[in-house]
């Protein structure tokens, strides 16, 4: 809860200081898709008046793919695919380096300093990733 309040305060103060703030944020997230047709439901919420007593069965070690994408203003960035590999600091850094090249070559983002938003996944918080973000996306938004 504390980090959500901090994020809300950061976004509020940034948008008050710069009315164009939301146009410069690249909002991003990942989704995991498995070959057995199931998706990672860690962000799914089930609402009911009574406890639905849901039990979700999950197979272990099923091959799949992680898909990363971002959205900024009216533009979708990506998707980037992590096929049959775990997303860790090294693989995520490689994706960020490719993302930096894509944004630099894009006419949509020409002349704009982008603020990258990401969640607090462990790969996003590795030392090498934070160093890259500090150098290439100053003001990036996530847990610190």
Confidence of residue 111 (pLDDT cuts 50, 70, 90): low
Specify the pTM: 0.75
- Bridging pattern class, strands 75-83 and 115-117: unpaired
Residue 144 has pLDDT above 80, yes or no: no
Residue 45: the pLDDT is 67
How confident is the model over 59-97, as pLDDT tens digits?
777 788 899 999 988 789 889 999 877 889 999 999 999
50 CB-near residues (< 8 Å, 6+ apart): none
Helix, strand, coil percentages (3-state) for the chain, rounded to 5, are 35, 25, 40
């Amino acid at each position: 809860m504390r980090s959500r309040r901090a994020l809300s305060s950061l976004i509020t103060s940034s948008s008050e200081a710069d009315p164009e703030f939301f146009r410069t944020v690249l909002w991003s997230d990942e989704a995991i898709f498995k070959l057995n047709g199931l998706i990672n439901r860690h962000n799914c919420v089930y609402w009911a008046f009574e406890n639905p007593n849901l039990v979700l069965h999950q197979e272990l070690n099923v091959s799949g793919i992680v898909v990363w994408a971002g959205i900024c203003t009216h533009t979708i960035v990506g998707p980037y695919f992590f096929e049959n590999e775990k997303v860790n600091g090294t693989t995520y850094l490689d994706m960020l380096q490719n993302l930096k090249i894509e944004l630099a070559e894009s006419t949509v983002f020409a002349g704009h300093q982008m603020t990258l938003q990401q969640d607090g996944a462990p790969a996003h918080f590795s030392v090498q990733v934070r160093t890259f973000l500090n150098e290439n996306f100053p003001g990036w938004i996530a847990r610190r």
